[in-house]
């Protein structure tokens, strides 16, 4: 399943969870996930809210004896010792680590020493964990979103009055497309910004889909002229068609890719090769190792990692722990992406996967090299012989509409 997040005024964590519930995530699953956090004397309620005549859902979390602040270590302990599903737990921890890094940069402290005030409350922790669990519960594998709406004004915090967007909100949105709304006040919360920066896979116009469900999350803040809502559109990828120019097979889109870079001049090149291999195994789209002359005439390596934005935190952690680097440069850049399809052809040497695209409207197939190599070794023939057989078979068996379609690999 894929989903598109339609932001109207902004986003908060309780609105995100409300939209997922309204889109079909069961309240029973939501409550089970909340209970798995093991937070004493905390309870959660689902609220039906109305915004300018539009019905939506939201959640409210209440607890007794809430501490004035929690450290990142405290929150990590709460989630790490919870009964949450392992995937939800790990993804939630990555989001919170991302937040700790941003807060540490803003306040000039080590991420491990960061103390959260509003963001350390049970409600914020629940919003983050439940958003992750809700996406998984609905089977959403790709979440897209348009440009992020921002407002102006000021907000009262434990640090005093701060400008809107709050410093943490802006820092979390670095590298993402934003647009300004002519409204005052905080409509995009730091929790909402964290969810957008860590859970959205691509930013841009919505891709074609077969619409299955619509969920509306509603906030509590009210405006004189607009509804404070967020909509999530959930569906299946639109089926491609090979017939006719301008059809789905000929489409391309503007997607986003994260770029992680670091310079290494104090690590054995054989170890750098192993780091690159682990990055590839962890899901990097590409890993580049470029020889460079560093300061003081040292021979070094410029290590560049391309990845989906959703992999940014995981691969960044891998770089910091597996290499000798002390820091990583991170940026997000737009890229034009051809739509792609995967099909399998049978040859006298065995099955071979083909990746199809349509640059300029003309079908093009490229054989998966690992398949070619495996079949060639098994038959003791050159790789080009298997490739010729696979591409020959492709001429008679182009991909059909039910072939899996991809925008990134």
156 and 50 share one domain: yes
- pLDDT grade for 66, boundaries at 50, 70 and 90: low
Rounded to whole angstroms, how far apart are CA atoms 283 and 175?
21
Pick from 200, 234, 235, 229: which is nearest to 216 by CA?
Answer: 229
Q: How many domains are there within the chain?
A: 3
Average pLDDT over residues 184-193: 91
pLDDT value for 63? 82
Average pLDDT over residues 94-113: 79
Q: Residue 276: give the domain boundaries.
A: 252-337
Q: Do residues 144 and 206 lie in contact, with contact meaning Cβ atoms separated by under 8 Å?
A: yes
293 and 314 share one domain: yes
13 and 32 share one domain: yes
| 230 token code pair | 């967020």
332 and 344 share one domain: no
- pLDDT grade for 26, boundaries at 50, 70 and 90: very high
108 and 85 share one domain: yes
228 and 310 share one domain: no
Rounded to whole angstroms, how far apart are CA atoms 235 and 140?
9
Rounded to whole angstroms, how far apart are CA atoms 252 and 247?
11
Whichever domain contains 284, its CATH number is 3.30.70.1380
222 and 295 share one domain: no
Degrees, nearest 5: CA angle 280-284-285? 110
pLDDT value for 231? 97
201 and 71 share one domain: yes
Higher pLDDT, 100 or 381: 381
Tell me whether residue 69 is in a domain: yes
Tell me whether residue 246 is in a domain: no
Pick from 149, 174, 178, 152: which is nearest to 163 by CA?
Answer: 152
Higher pLDDT, 329 or 251: 329
* pLDDT tens for each residue of 202-249: 888 888 888 999 999 999 998 888 899 999 999 987 654 333 333 444
Tell me whether residue 121 is in a domain: yes
């Amino acid at each position: 399943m894929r989903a598109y997040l339609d932001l109207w005024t902004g986003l908060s964590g309780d609105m995100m969870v409300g939209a997922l519930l309204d889109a079909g995530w069961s309240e029973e699953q939501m409550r089970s996930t909340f209970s798995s956090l093991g937070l004493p004397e905390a309870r959660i309620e689902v609220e039906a809210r109305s915004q300018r005549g539009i019905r939506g859902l939201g959640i409210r979390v209440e607890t007794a004896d809430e501490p004035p602040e929690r450290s990142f270590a405290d929150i990590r302990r709460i989630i790490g010792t919870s009964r949450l599903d392992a995937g939800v737990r790990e993804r939630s921890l990555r989001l919170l680590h991302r937040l700790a890094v941003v807060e540490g940069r803003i306040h000039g402290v080590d991420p491990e020493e960061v103390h959260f005030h509003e963001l350390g409350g049970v409600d914020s922790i629940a919003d983050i964990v439940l958003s992750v669990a809700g996406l998984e519960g609905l089977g959403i594998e790709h979440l897209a979103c348009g440009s992020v709406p921002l407002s102006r004004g000021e907000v009262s915090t434990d640090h005093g009055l701060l400008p809107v967007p709050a410093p943490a909100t802006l820092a979390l949105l670095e590298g993402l497309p934003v647009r300004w709304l002519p409204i005052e006040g905080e409509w995009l919360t730091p929790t909402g910004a964290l969810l957008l920066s860590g859970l959205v896979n691509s930013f841009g116009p919505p891709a074609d889909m077969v619409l299955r469900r619509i969920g509306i999350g509603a906030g509590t803040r009210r405006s004189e002229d607009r509804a404070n809502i967020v909509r999530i559109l959930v569906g299946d990828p639109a089926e491609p068609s090979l017939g006719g120019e301008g059809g789905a097979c000929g489409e391309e889109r503007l997607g986003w890719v994260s770029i992680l870079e670091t310079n290494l001049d104090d690590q054995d090149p054989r170890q750098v090769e192993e780091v690159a291999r682990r990055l590839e195994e962890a899901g990097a789209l590409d890993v580049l190792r470029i020889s460079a002359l560093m300061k003081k005439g040292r021979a070094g390596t410029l290590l560049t990692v391309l990845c989906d934005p959703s992999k940014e935190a995981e691969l960044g952690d891998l770089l910091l722990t597996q290499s000798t680097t002390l820091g990583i440069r991170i940026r997000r850049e737009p890229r034009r992406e051809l739509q792609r399809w995967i099909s399998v052809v049978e040859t006298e040497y065995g099955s071979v996967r083909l990746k199809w695209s349509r640059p300029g409207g003309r079908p093009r197939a490229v054989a998966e090299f690992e398949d070619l190599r495996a079949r060639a070794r098994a038959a003791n023939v050159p790789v080009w012989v298997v490739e010729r057989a696979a591409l020959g078979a492709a001429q008679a068996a182009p991909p059909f509409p039910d072939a899996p379609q991809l925008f990134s690999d």
